[in-house]
Amino acid sequence: MTDGAKITAVLNSVLESAATVIPMPITPGQLALVTAHDTHVGYSILIGVTGELHGRLVLDTTQELVSSVAETMFGMQVSGEMLDSFAGEFGNMLGGNMATKLSERGVQIDITPPTVISGNARISGFKKAFRIPITVSDKGQVQCYLIFED
């Protein structure tokens, strides 16, 4: 499988995983190619990707959206440390589901434990990345950044 086909498989797997993991209707937006200058994040989950592809998956969103997802899943609001813990687990669920879907497509990857980033940050150390906005019901958006190492 070519690198381009692997990247397409990752993009499709992320969208399918989001639809599986997020317990609300989602609407994917327009795929965009972005540079490091375009990757300012606020409340985010970073997951490393190793195996046949190397890079990172970054889920940039808001605490309010993560809290809404948690409330829909568990029937109760979460905040503070519990919100950060859920955000990491949410990233783990999405990343793990993505890895499973990729395996079914013949692409073998592993994911690293998630890192939750809170506050304004800029992700650097790469030239280009793919960004897919995913609108979650009427709750907000998740900006999914797929950063592949050259």
Q: What pTM does this model have?
A: 0.92
Structural domains present in the chain? 3-148 (3.40.1550.10)
Q: How far is CA 22 from the centre of its chain?
A: 11
For residue 131, the surrounding DSSP H or E stretch is: strand 128-136
What pLDDT was estimated at residue 116? 96
What pLDDT was estimated at residue 64? 95
Q: Note whether 59 and 36 are within 8 A (CB).
A: no
What pLDDT was estimated at residue 127? 80
Which segments in the chain show pLDDT lower than 70? Answer: 150
